[in-house]
Amino acid sequence: MNKKFMTTVASGALIAAGLSGAANAEDLTLCWAAWDPANALVELSKDFEEKSGHNMSFEFVPWPNFADRMLNELNSGGQLCDLMIGDSQWIGGGAESGHYVKLNDFFEAEGITMDDFIPATVTGYSEWPKGSPNYWALPAFGDVVGWTYRKDWFEKPELQAEFKEKYGRDLGVPATLEELKDIAEFFQGREIDGNTVYGAAIYTERGSEGITMGVTNVLYNYGFQYENPDQPYDLEGYVNSEGAVEGLEFYKALYDVGTPPGSSNWYMGENIDAYKSGQVALQMNFAFIWPGVEADPNVGGGKSGYFPNPAGPAGQYAQLGGQGISVVSYSSKQDAALEYIKWFAQPEIQARWWELGGYSALKAVVEDPGFASSQPYAQTFLDSMAIVKDFWAEPAYADLLLAMQEKIHDYVIAGNGTAQEALDGLVEEWTIIFEDEGKI
Amino acid sequence: MTHAPMEKIARATPAPVARRIKGLSDRAIAWIFVAPSIFLLLAVNIFPLIWTIRLSFTNYRVNRPNRDVEWVGLRNYERILTDDGIWATMQATAHFLIWTIVLQVIIGFALAYLINKKFKGNDLWTTVIVLPMMLSPAVVGNFWTFLYQPQIGLFNYVIAFFTGADPASFSMIGDVNLAPWAIVIADTWMWTPFVMLICLAGLRSIPDSIYEAAECDRASKWRQFWTITIPMALPFLMLAVLFRGIENFKMFDLVVQLTGGGPGNTTTLTSIDLKREAFERWRTGYSSAYAVILFVTVFGLASIYVKALNKVKER
C-alpha cells in the first residue's frame, strides 16, 4: 500500500468520524506568536472544541523571542506543538528538515484546494520549493506592511495650507516614497495640540527581524532584487544594484530626518505605542495592527487612515508578513491536528476569522462584494496584498536574515560606512552562506 | 600511584561508620560518598566541554540533522580569529568590563565606607541601596530603556536640567558614541550594591584595635585609610572584581533588553554574538569553537587573577 492510499484511507476515516463527537478527544497545542490575532484565534477555536470534542491549548510567545523559542522547539524534535503557525520564512527549513508534515495528500482527500486562497499567501506561506505544488501549510493569516496616518492631523486647515505652500501639493496620502518622506519631515518636531510630534515610526529593530522587514519596503521599490531572476543565487548586481543603494540611502535619510528621537530599536510594538500615544503622524506596520487602531479611543473611530506602501522609482511593492498553519511532524496527535486544519479551512470559519480580527487569506472571504467596505482598512489590505514580496524562505533564512540585520542596522542607525559598502558586504556574506549550503 | 585525597577522606571517616558497613573498606565507603558528585561533575561539566571541543572541529549544524558532518580541522578557529567583527565585539566587551568594574569598585567602596560609619538610619539606607541588585536584569534593562527615552526619559531630563541641552537632542541608546556608556551606567546602577556589600564585609572585618593603635601613634585619618583600610580590605575588593569580571564577561540579558546589541554592533558583547551564532544562525561547530576560545580566555585570565588574589591574602 502506498503512502497516498494510506493518507486517503486515514482522511476517509476522519470524515466518517465527523467533526462532532470524535471518538478520542485529544489535547492539542497550537503554537504562535503572542499578539492580538492570537487572542482572536483562541476565541475562534472554541467552535472547534465544541464541534470536535478536542481540547485546545495555546503556546504564544512574544514576537522578539518567537523565532528563537519555536525554532529551538522544532530543531530539538520537541512535542510541545501539534500545530504551528510559523513565520513565512520558516517554510523552507520546516520542509527540508522534516519539521512539518506535507499536506498535499490531505488537501486532496479533503477537497481543500490552494486555488481558493490568495496566490501570494500560497506562495509565501505554503509552498516549498517556491513555485512548486508542494504544500506544507494552509495560509492562516494574511499580513503585509502598510502605513497608518493621522487623518485628523492631515485635515487641519492650517497644516494643509502650510504644506501646500511649502511643497506645492495637497497634504494627503503619499503616492511615492519621496512624498512620504516630505510628509514625515513636515511633521517632525511640530507642535500639535500642545505636544511635540514627529514624522514617522519606521522599523529599526536590531535583535530579530525588524529593520529588514522595514527597509525591504523601500529597497524593493528602488530596484533591489534578491537574486538574478534567470540564475538563482546570483546576487552581485541585484542585491547591491544602483537602485538598491539609492533605496538604502533613502531609508537612512528617512530615519535621519523624519523619525522620533530614540527610535533606534523599534519594531511593531514600539511603533504602535508611538502612534497611539500621539507621537507620530505616520507609522509603518503590519496590517494586523489596524483593527486595534480602529478600536483605540485616541486614534480610532475615523481619526486614522491607511494606505499601501507607496511606490518608488522601480515600482510598488510591500513586504509580506503573515503565516501558514502546519502540522508538526513530531506530534503524536497528527490526526486531530489535521482535523483542526480541515475545520479552519471552511469558508464560514474563515469569514468568522475576519470578523474577529484575523486576516483571512481565503478568496471567498476577501473577494466577497462586501469585504472592501467591511472595515476602513479592508481595501488597503487588499491593495497591499496585491503587491507583496517576501524575504528568503531558504532553510538558511536565519543566517541570511541576521547578516542583513547587521549590515543594514550598522549603516542606517549607527551610520557606519556607505550604503554601497553595506550592500556589497551583504552580497559577500550571503554568498558565503549559500556556498556553505552547497547552493553555489 | 597515590590516592592522597581519598586516604585523607578515609581517615576522616569516623570508625563507628566503618564498623557499621561491614565488608566495605574505608576507601570504598569514601568512594561511594564522592561518586555521585564525580558523576554529576563529569555529566554536567566535563562531558559537555569535551563534546564542545569535538564539535568545534566540525561544520555541524544542529538545525540540519540530516546533513553530513565534516571534519574541518582548525578552519572554525581561523575564521573566528581573523574576523574583524568578532574583534569588535571583544573590544565592546572589554570596554564594558573595564568601565563597569572601575565604576562599581570606586562607588561601591565609597558607599561601603559611608555605610560602615554609625549614623541614624544606617540600616534603612543599606536596604535602599541594595534594592537594585534584587531586581531581574531583564526588568532593569526594560525600565532603563524608558529612562533613556529622549522624549519621556528621566535620565535625559536630569542631564538636560544640569546642562541646559534639549532632552530630545540626544539618544543614549541610539547613538554610537553614547550607547556603550548607556549599558555601563545601567549595569553600574544595578551591581554597585553587590560590590558595596563585599567591601562592607571587608571593612567590618578590620579589628578596631588596629585603628586604636594607629590613633595612639598619631597617624592621620588619611594615613590610616591608605595603610590600614585599603590593604586589609584589598582581598575583598579583589574578590568583588573577580565576581563582577566573571559576571560581566557573560553579560547578556540586561544589554539585550536595553540595546539589542545596537546601534549597529556597538554594544554587541561576545555573549550576545555567541548566542546569535549558536541559536539564531545555528552554526553549531563554529559557535563551539567560539565558546572554546572564550573559555580559554576567561579560564586563563581567572587563573592568573586567583593566583594574584592568593598572594595578596598571604601577605
The answer to whether A261 faces chain B, any CB pair under 8 Å, is yes
Distance of residue B286 Cα from the nearest chain A Cα, in angstroms: 12
A279 grid coordinates: 507621537
**In chain A, whose CA is at the least distance from the CA of B169?**
A261
Q: A322: which 3 cell numbers?
A: 503573515
Largest CA distance in chain A: 77
Domain CATH for B177 = 1.10.3720.10
**Are residues B18 and B152 both part of a single domain?**
no
B contact test, residue of A63, A206, A266 with most B CBs within 10 A: A206
A207 in reach of chain B (CB within 8 A): yes
Whether residues A409 and B280 touch (CB distance < 8 A) is answered with no
For A411-438, what is the mean pLDDT? 94
Q: How many CA atoms lie within 13 A of A127 on its CB side?
A: 18
Q: Quote the pLDDT of residue B139.
A: 92
In Å, how far is B280's CA from the nearest CA of chain A? 6
How many angstroms separate the CA atoms of B256 and A384, rounded?
A: 33
Triad A336, A342, A347: Cα angle to 5°: 150
Identify the H or E element spanning A136. Answer: none
Considering only the beta carbons, identify the residue of A262, A399, A402 that sits closest to B151: A262
pLDDT tens digits, one per residue of B97-129: 999 999 999 999 999 999 998 788 888 988 999
Q: Does domain A3-143+321-389 have CATH number 3.40.190.10?
A: yes
Fold of the domain built from segment(s) A145-319: D-Maltodextrin-Binding Protein; domain 2 (3.40.190)
| Interchain proximity B263–A261, CB inside 8 Å | no
User: Can you give the pLDDT at residue A13?
Assistant: 45
Q: Which residues of B touch A399 (CB under 8 A)?
A: 281-283
Chain B contact for A27, CB < 8 A? no
- Which pLDDT does position B9 carry in this prediction? 62
**Which residue among A399, A402, A409 sits closest to B262, beta carbon to beta carbon?**
A409
Of B65, B262, B279, the CB nearest to A414: B262
| B62 assigned to some structural domain | no
Task: Please tell me the distance from the alpha carbon of residue B269 to that of residue B266, in angstroms, as a whole number.
Answer: 8
Shortest CA distance to B29 belongs to which of B38, B42, B41, B17?
A: B17
Q: How far from chain centre, in Å, is Cα A392?
A: 13
- In SS3 terms, B183-247 reads as HHHHHHHHHHHHHHHHHHHHHHCCCHHHHHHHHHCCCCHHHHHHHHHHHHHHHHHHHHHHHHHHH
Residue A413, chain B, CB below 8 Å: the answer is yes
Q: How confident is the model at residue A17 (pLDDT cuts 50, 70, 90)?
A: very low
Among A260, A262, A406, beta carbon nearest to B265: A406
H-state helical runs in A76-156: 91-96, 104-110, 119-121, 151-154
DSSP state of A127: B
- Let me know: does A128 contact A397? Beta carbons within 8 Å: no
Task: Report whether pLDDT(A18) > 70.
Answer: no
- What residues of B are in the A interface, CB distance below 8 Å? 59, 62-66, 85, 148-151, 153, 168-171, 173-176, 256, 259-266, 276, 279-283
A223 alpha carbon, distance to own chain's centre: 21
CB-based contact A265 B259, cutoff 8 Å: yes
Distance CA B124, CA B129 (A): 9
Residues 6+ away with beta carbon under 8 Å from B218: none
Please indicate if any CB of chain B lies within 8 Å of the CB of A437. Answer: no
Please list every residue in chain A whose beta carbon sits closer than 8 Å to the beta carbon of residue B153. 262
Question: Which sign, positive or negative, has the C-alpha torsion B253, B255, B259, B263?
Answer: negative
**Cβ of residue A195 closer than 8 Å to a chain B Cβ:** no
> Hey, are the CB atoms on B280 and A398 less than 8 Å from each other?
yes
Position A313 pLDDT exceeds 70: yes
Minimum CA–CA partner of B145 in chain A: A262
Single pTM value for the model: 0.82
Touching check for A92 and chain B: CB below 8 Å? Answer: no
Chain A residues lying within 8 Å of B265, measured CB to CB: 406, 410, 414
Q: Which percentage of chain A shows pLDDT scores above 70?
A: 95
A406/B66 CB distance under 8 A: no
pLDDT digits (tens, 9 = 90+) for B16-75: 555 566 678 888 899 999 999 999 999 999 999 999 999 999 999 887 777 788 999 999
pLDDT computed for residue A1 by the predictor: 43
Say if A395 is an interface residue toward chain B (CB within 8 Å).
yes
| Chain B positions in Cβ-Cβ contact with residue A416 (cut-off 8 Å) | 176, 264
Contact B105, B197 (CB under 8 A): no
Per-residue model confidence (pLDDT) at position B314: 77
Rounded to a whole number, what is the distance in Å from the CA of B150 to chain A's nearest CA?
6
With b for 16 or more beta-carbon neighbours within 10 A and e for fewer, the A400-418 pattern comes to bbbbbbbbbbbbbbbebee
The three grid cell numbers given for residue A439, joined into one nine-digit string:
547552493
The arrangement of strands across the sheet holding A323-327 comes to A55-61, A27-33, A83-87, A323-327, A138-141
Q: What is the mean pLDDT of chain A?
A: 92
The verdict on whether omega for the bond into residue B263 sits within 30 degrees of 0, i.e. cis, is yes
| Prediction ipTM score | 0.73
Q: How do residues A155-183 score in pLDDT, each as one tens digit?
A: 999 999 999 999 999 999 999 999 999 99
- The three-point CA angle B94-A433-B296 to 5° equals 30
- Closest-CA distance of chain A to residue B289, Å: 17
**How many residue pairs bridge chain A and chain B with CB atoms within 8 Å of each other?**
94
What is the Cα–Cα distance from A407 to A425, expressed in whole angstroms? 7
**Does residue B98 fall inside a structural domain?**
yes
Domain count across chain B: 2
For residue B103, is it within any domain? yes
CA distance B299 to A198: 50
Asked whether residue B119 is assigned to any structural domain, the reply reads yes
pLDDT computed for residue B208 by the predictor: 92
Q: What is the pLDDT of residue A5?
A: 47
Q: Tell me how many degrees the CA angle A142-A20-A83 measures, rounded to the nearest 5.
A: 40
Mean of pLDDT values over A67-83:
91
pLDDT by residue, tens only, chain B of 315 residues: 445 566 666 666 566 555 566 678 888 899 999 999 999 999 999 999 999 999 999 999 887 777 788 999 999 999 999 998 899 999 999 999 999 999 999 999 999 999 998 788 888 988 999 999 999 999 999 999 999 988 889 999 999 999 988 888 889 998 999 999 999 999 999 999 999 999 999 999 999 999 999 999 999 999 999 999 999 999 999 999 999 999 999 899 999 999 989 898 899 999 999 999 998 888 899 999 999 999 999 899 989 998 998 888 777
| DSSP track, A334-387 | HHHHHHHHHHHTSHHHHHHHHHHT----BHHHHTSTTTTTTSTTHHHHHHHHTT
User: Tell me, what's the pLDDT at B121?
Assistant: 85
Q: What residue in A sits closest to B60 (Cα-Cα)?
A: A436
How is residue A100 written as a grid cell? 512539518
Nearest to B272 by CA among A234, A91, A208, A221: A208
Residue B61 forms part of a structural domain: no
% of chain A at pLDDT higher than 90: 85
Q: What is the mean pLDDT of residues A89-100?
A: 91
Q: Please indicate if any CB of chain B lies within 8 Å of the CB of A414.
A: yes
Q: Exposure pattern of B82-107 as b/e (b: 16+ CB <10 Å)?
A: eeeebeebbebbebbbebbbebbbeb
Strand pairing of A27-33 and A83-87?
parallel
Between CA B153 and CA B151 the distance in angstroms is 6
B191 and B87, same structural domain?
yes
Measured between CB atoms, which of A71, A205, A263 is closest to B260? Answer: A205
Give the mean model confidence (pLDDT) for residues A355-375.
93
Q: Which of B40, B55, B70 represents a domain boundary (last residue)?
A: B55
Q: CA of A205: which chain B residue's CA is closest?
A: B260
Where are the CATH 3.40.190.10 domain residues in chain A? 3-143+321-389, 145-319
- Determine, yes or no, domain membership for B60: no
B64 in a domain, yes or no?
A: no
**Which residue in the block uniquely carries the three cell numbers 472595515?**
A375
Q: Which of A74, A211, A255, A264 should we substitute to test contact with B (largest number of B Cβ atoms within 10 Å)?
A: A264
Percent of chain B with pLDDT over 90: 69
Q: Report the gap between the CA of B54 and the closest CA in chain A (Å).
A: 20
Whether residue A415 and residue B151 make contact (CB cut-off 8 A), yes or no, is no
In this structure, are B128 and B184 located in the same domain? yes
Whether B177 is in a domain gets the answer yes
Helix axes B4-12, B26-41, angle to 10 degrees: 120
Measure CB to CB from residue B265 to each of A67, A399, A410 and give the nearest one. Answer: A410
Cα gap B184→B244, rounded to integer Å: 13
Is B276 close to A399, i.e. CB distance below 8 A? no
Strands A304-308 and A318-319: unpaired
- Do B147 and B15 share a structural domain? no
Cβ separation B260–A265 shorter than 8 A: yes
| Structural domain of B12 | 4-55
Residue B207 sits at φ, ψ, to 5 deg, of -65, 140
Q: How many CA atoms lie within 13 A of A293 on its CB side?
A: 31
